[in-house]
Structure 1
Amino acid sequence: MSASKPNWWKASTCYQIWPASYKDSNGDGIGDIVGIISTIPYLKDLGIETIWLSPMYDSPQKDMGYDISNYQDVYPPYGTLADMDRLIKECHDLDMKLVLDLVINHTSDQHAWFLESRRNKTNQYADWYMWRDPKIIQGERHPPNNWASIFGGSAWEYCRERDQYYLHLFVKEQPDLNWENEETRRGIYESAMKFWLDKGIDGFRVDTANLYSKDTSYPDAPILVPGEPYQPAFKYFTNGPRMHEWLQEQRGILDKYGDVFMVGELPDTKADEVLRYISAKSREYSCVFDFDVVMLGQNKEGGSKKHHTHKHTLPHFKEAIRKVQGLLHGTDAWTTVFLENHDQGRSLSRFATDKAIHRDQAAKMLAVLMCCLTGTLFLYQGQEIGMYNHPEYWGIEDLRDIDSLNAYNDVMHRHKGDPLWLKKAMRGLQLVGRDNGRLPVQWDNSANAGFTSGKPWIRVHDDYEHVNVAAQQADPGSPLNFWKKIIRLRKKYADLMIFGKDFQVWDKFDQDVFTFTKVHPDGHERILVFLNFSDEDQPLHYPTGLESVQKELLVCNFEEPGKYLTPWEARVYLIREGVVNGG
């Protein structure tokens, strides 16, 4: 079936590459661009059409490249500008697209703009960042307000040269840019966007895509976490008053380059506000990553308290997916489909099971779920082979993520090294810590999983001899080969799987099975999807009127489907007649 594709990116299958952990070509233990280039045929064979490359810009690496010191150069261990030119060409030669990360809420404190800005209050870049005078209380200097950084501690850092504080919503080495200043915005557009668009890239994944506009009266945040000196202040810097104005301005730059794909990271945003960003008429973002699914089980109000994770239920999971699919109902919007990225734990461990007995089946079940949802599909590196979270017995010395280390050290400090508290902290990091998604890709069963011939910058998962690309390429029944099959099926039935409408959940409160339907845009076909999220056989909950109609089995991750769903089984039926109206 041919899909109506007004924009190339709507039906594209995308793959996120985290460069440090993907493929090392020179044995220094760090992934690089030449390593990426060597795997492009592998990605093409998988069915990938667009690569999203996480930050490869020059950076002191305080936050794994999200602290950029030069937008127009490459972090030397990753390669050179010439390597990037070659990567762009190699992608385009295979009819693939390349999307880069756009990190323009903040820079590194080593960026030339900030080094000049901090010198005094009168230089050319003095107003390019968010500077405020101290608050003096009883003769003591304090930050301008009580806002907490997203990574913990105060969101303000004192600068002696100016006798002022600068705002940093993340680590102190990531000062926030002042978007209120028109000169700053022009500098961003030239350096971070036009430079790379002129080189031929096809779009951007936009980091912190709703944080540029702050409440510039900088009020104190209400007390949400009693006893803490600094409080979550998302209401004062998320979806601010000028966000849409600036995105309209930005689109004026992008329009000169054709159909540029802009997928925004949009945390902590209600559905009606999300629609303002992704309406086709508004032309701000092409689509966004809504985080309700991947934030399940985490406490958003408490900053980086990762030890406060809790078990979510399948009904919570269904509702989060329903919210995202519901954005398309009766609107001109578009959305994304994803369960993993560089900031999350692995989906097998978080939403299914990583027990060896059921792991492959569960990986295939999640593949079916993703490929049957409407929107632009995103896989994260290693997801196609079912990589899962690091073992519980790893220690803090095995982790590298600054957010995780801050969270652990916060517990260490508050509870004076109490071993039970530290065990609780490590359990939280094992579930949702960002390093889970940053372990090296497992290419084969040789030393260091074939990622590097040197010493890897972060520990390789202990199970790489069993879970790796080479072994799965040789196994027709592997998750990798199943992903290839289901991506092809998604393309074949694009009108139903990619562009289908009227998503409806039929077992909203069932704790074990997820049953949903979607309808062809023309209304003459429907898919019926059954997903077993448990270790036991489960009955099928047929939607009203669909049990006895004629059905064609499109895909199943079990050899011979029977009366019941086996553990972690997925089935997709095509219904051409007897279709009932969707809700």
Structure 2
Amino acid sequence: MTIKEQFDQNIIIAGKDPKWWKEAIVYQIYPRSFKDSNGDGVGDLKGIISKLNYIKSLGIDAVWLNPIYASPNDDNGYDISNYREIMSDFGTMSDFDLLLAEMHKRGIKLIMDLVVNHSSDEHEWFKQSRSSRDNKYRDYYHWWPAEKGKPSYRWSWFDINSNAWKYDATTDSYYLHYFSEKQPDLNWENPRLRNEVHDIMRFWLDKGIDGFRMDAFQFISKDNSYPELPIEIVNKPVEIIKFYGNGPHLHEYIQEMNSEVLSKYNLMTVAEGAGSTPIEAMKFVDPERKELDIAYHFESVEIGKHLHDFGLVKYKNMFSNYDTVFKDKGWLAIFLANHDQPRMVSKFGNDSPEFREISSKMLSTFILTMRGTPFYYQGDELGMMNPRFETIEEYHDVETRNKYTNIKNKGGDLNAFLEEQKQIARENGRTPFQWDANKNAGFTTGDSWLKVNQNFKTINAEAQEKDPKSVLNYFRKLVQTRKDNPAFVYGTYTLLDKENPNVYAYMRELNGKKLLVLLNFTNDTATYNLKFKLEKHEVILNNYNDSTPVKNNQLRPYESVIIKFE
């Protein structure tokens, strides 16, 4: 019985405010690396269209598509030069229209990235803005006249010199860029700019898309006095995010957007980087505030190089603290990977030959049994892992390359930097999708824009389709298990065995139906303590592909078990 059917029969308790986006499982596609249709080495829209039956077979409900807008590609599409055109690498607007129609034909919704904290410096707005101080587009961006002296130092994520103010001789002024110097920040304090953004949103929503993921949205409101960056947080990105984010008019601008645009459509909106605490995150998605739908916070992935360095107890407390704040209202995204993160199994699991498959399955179990909307990154359903590039030439990402140059200029340890990048670089998660064992993993017939992980001959979709015990087919079972059990969507979450350093155990319960989830995050047998007996229970899914009842309160290495009990 589907969740909808159970709602129709009034099985779900009242007060849960059912929404399609709460029940959806979202699959993220990084188009540059998904499937190339024309042999130019770059994934494209026609490539995605050719694989829609595969996407449908996963059982997912919606696709989050990374930016496909016109762009000079300094930051792989997050530097947009025209918000109403398709990047030529990806195809044409006709290709997009066909993609959207074919997705909807298969019951798949489409969520697009809305990247409006900044534009490309090649956008017509910025070209006009930098041309003269009295141009009508001047106030579309943040400018500081040189005669006032140098603006106070601000840190930039992607700048070689790590200064977010860039001098521009044309008008003897500095412009602000929190990211690459080719990504000038838009001035949301200007109501004309906000209206432009609203019109862009209507353009895509009127085409029939189903929602937006709001990129870097916590930064859109800025204090135009541009206060000095506190010395104690200089070069500390996580702390700088808190300093830059949640500007004085942030929620005012989002509420205006909701009133002018969002409230007019049946869509899903996701706030990236929503707040630095659970309480701050709630402000974005509290229904009474009329802002956005889903909070996509970063704490779950900003834990360092690997989960075992951070500690499972701290990790459990993090998720449980969010659940406490969100238990009665608001909604969260649940994820372990995306295009800005290393591969899920390499960071949170174990990508050794012995444990890659079983730990991949365990991590997928976690994502699909927690409360919140699951966001699942392409290739994780195969257990794809970090490629561990050896040289800087193998990287294309502006962040990695600029950091390398900065360290080189300062005489730093380049070998140590490259070794670190093998674990944390963004492009670890951007290598091409591994479709089969043919050249370039079946991604392209040409020269791939980014090197394919060399394990593609053994880790690929074609091989896993044929294996009923594969990571891929386990993912499909998990998806169906979530859809069959509304407790995983609307049920309460209760953390069990809180101080256990090896096992994450929790209960999901709805209308008296109880589901227990046990996850061993280690490569050894682990013991748990539930403080109650599992006398009558049924294992409905485990990642060892058997129905063996749990015994002696023990789990096998990286074992995950979903148990229905009385």
Query: Which residue is 1:377 aligned to?
Result: 374
Structure 1 residues 240-279: Cα deviation after superposition (integer angstroms, max 9, x where no partner): 1111111111012334642211011016611111111011
Q: Choose which of 228, 231, 244 in structure 2 pairs with 1:237.
A: 244
Q: Report the equivalent of 2:100.
A: 88
How far apart, CA to CA, are the structure 1 residues paired with 2:54 and 2:304? 34
Corresponding position: 1:67 with 2:79: yes
Task: Give the whole-Å Cα distance in 2 for the aligned partners of 1:231 and 1:203.
Answer: 28
Q: Describe the SS at the equivalent of 1:323.
A: helix
In the other structure, the counterpart of 1:570 is: 560
Match of 2:197 in 1: 188
Alignment-mate amino acid for residue 364 of structure 2: A
| Alpha-carbon distance, 1:552 to partner | 1.9
| Counterpart for residue 314 of structure 1 | 312
Aligned to 2:299: 292
How many residue pairs get aligned? The number is: 548
1:556 match = 542
CA offset digits 1:163-202 (Å, max 9, x no partner): 1111101011001111011111111111x31111111111
The DSSP-based 3-state class of the residue aligned with 2:518 is: strand
The amino acid across from 1:165 in the alignment is Y
Q: The residue matched to 2:309 in structure 1 has which SS?
A: coil
Residue in 1 that maps onto 2:112: 100
Q: Partner residue of 2:531?
A: 544
SS at match of 1:409: helix
Residues 224, 232 of structure 1: 8 Å contact kept: no
SS in 1 for 2:171: coil
Q: Does 1:11 align with 2:45?
A: no
Distance 1:94 1:124 in 2: 45
8 Å CA contact 1:529, 1:571 repeated in 2: yes
- Structure 1 counterpart of 2:361, from 361, 364, 369: 364
Aligned partners of 1:229, 1:435: CA distance in 2, in Å? 21
> Quick check: which one's helix share is greater?
2
Instruction: Tell me what 1:339 maps to.
Output: 336
Listed as ranges, the gaps of 5+ residues in structure 2 are: none
User: Alpha-carbon deviation of 1:283?
Assistant: 2.3
Q: CA deviation at 1:133?
A: 2.0
**Runs of 4+ in structure 1 displaced over 3 angstroms?**
228-236
- Superposed CA RMSD: 2.1
Which residue in 2 is equivalent to 1:403? Answer: 399
Q: Is the 8 A contact 2:24 2:62 kept in 1?
A: yes
- Within the alignment, does 1:515 sit opposite 2:513 as a pair? no
The one-letter amino acid of 2:340's match is: D
**How far does residue 310 in structure 1 lie from its aligned partner after superposition?**
9.3
Per-residue CA deviation, residues 126-150 of structure 1 (Å, 9 max, x unaligned), is 11101112376xxxx63x1111112
SS at match of 1:327: helix
Shift, 1:233, TM fit? 4.3
Return the alpha-carbon distance in structure 2 between the equivalents of residues 556 and 312 of structure 1: 26
One-letter code aligned to 1:286: D
Kindly indicate whether the alpha-carbon contact (under 8 Å) linking 1:218 and 1:236 is maintained by their aligned counterparts in 2. no
Is 1:258 paired with 2:262?
Answer: no
- 1:325 alignment partner AA: D
> 1:28–1:544: structure 2 CA closer, same or farther, 3 Å change rule?
same
**Closer/same/farther in 2, CA of residues 282 and 61 from structure 1, 3 Å limit:** same
Against the structure 1 CA distance between its residues 309 and 271, is the aligned structure 2 distance closer, same or farther, given a 3 Å change threshold?
A: closer
Of 33, 50, 54, the residue aligned with 1:42 is 54
Listed as ranges, the matches of 1:472-551 within 5 Å are: 472-494=464-486, 496-501=487-492, 503-520=493-510, 522=511, 524-541=512-529, 543-545=530-532, 547-551=533-537
The CA distance in 2 between the partners of 1:27 and 1:428, in whole Å, is: 32
TM-score norm. by structure 1 comes to 0.90
Which of 145, 151, 155 does residue 148 from structure 1 map onto?
155
Is 1:439 matched up with 2:446? no
Contact 1:336 1:375 in 2 (8 A): yes
For residues 163 and 235 of structure 1, the distance between their equivalents in structure 2, rounded to whole angstroms, comes to 31
Q: Are 1:166 and 2:175 counterparts?
A: yes
Q: Could you tell me whether the CA contact under 8 Å between 1:197 and 1:257 is conserved in 2?
A: no
Relative to 1, partners in 2 of residues 1:309 and 1:59: Cα closer, same or farther, differing over 3 Å? farther
CA contact (8 A) 2:45 2:90 kept: yes
What is residue 469 of structure 1 aligned with on the other side?
461
For 2:471 and 2:231, the matched residues in 1 are separated by: 47
- Partners of 2:219 and 2:253 lie apart in 1 by 12
3-state DSSP class of the match of 1:526? strand
Cα contact 1:342–1:434 (8 A) shared by 2: yes
What amino acid is aligned across from residue 474 of structure 2 in structure 1? F
CA distance in 1, matches of 2:421, 2:28: 22
Matched with 1:214 is 222
- Residue 244 of structure 2 aligns with an amino acid whose one-letter code is F
**TM-score for both structures, normalised by structure 2:** 0.93
Partners of 1:374 and 1:14 in 2: CA distance: 14
Q: Is the 8 A contact 1:147 1:231 kept in 2?
A: no
Partner of 1:55: helix, strand, or coil? Answer: coil
Counterpart-to-counterpart distance in 1, 2:40 and 2:367? 35
Distance 2:298 2:94 in 1: 35
Distance 2:75 2:321 in 1: 31
